[in-house]
Amino acid sequence: MNFALNDRPDRSEKRAGSGMPRIASRLGVAAVAFTAVLSGGVPAFAEGSWSSYLSGVRSGFISREWTDNNSDSVVTKTTLRGCSRDDGANFSLKVDLRRKRSLSPDVSYGQKDVSACAGGTGTGTWGDQTSGTYFLQFWHYDFGTVSASSVATVY
């Protein structure tokens, strides 16, 4: 997370009616935001992340791949929002974290039920992973397609 202060030549400029220097006010806002990061509101010092969406995907759909170098201790977590089915059937969606291997079958770290994304937020968490190339695989009923307005992964 980047914090940018809008520096001005005259740092003693007062905010209207507050009596507080503008730079002190901005530093206070930055301090509150930084505290939110440390308190767990946002994963601090995550090695990487990506975000996307799903649109009309069939069961077994595979996400993009990413490389986790295991240079941190942040858990791998995927959050989905705004999920729906094209046919209106009961909603059920599972996501499987998988590690790619070249000469052997891919390793599965287990399926997580993220069906709650149909009415809010669905989250799958798999813990801190070893170094490797990873991807997600989405599973639902064998018929119809699923969409999600937001898919965000932190690793």
- Cα 124 to Cα 55: distance, rounded to the nearest angstrom: 19
Domains annotated on the chain, with CATH: 1-42 (no CATH), 49-154 (2.60.120)
**Residue bearing the bigger pLDDT, 127 or 8:** 127
Distance from C-alpha of 30 to C-alpha of 131, rounded to nearest angstrom: 33
Task: State the SS3 of 57-117.
Answer: ECCCEECCCEEECCCCCCCCEEEEEEEEECCCCCCCCEEEEEECCCCCCCEEEEEEECHHH
- Please give, one letter per residue, the 3-state secondary structure of 6-35: CCCCCCCCECCCCCCEHHHHHHHHHHHHHH
Per-residue pLDDT of 39-80, as tens digits, reads: 344 455 789 999 999 999 999 999 999 999 999 999 999 999
Say whether pLDDT at 22 is over 70.
no
Residue 46: predicted pLDDT: 81
Instruction: State the Cα–Cα distance between residues 64 and 135, nearest whole angstrom.
Output: 6
Kind and range of the H or E run holding 38? helix 22-38
- Quickly state the pLDDT bin for 141 (edges 50, 70, 90): confident
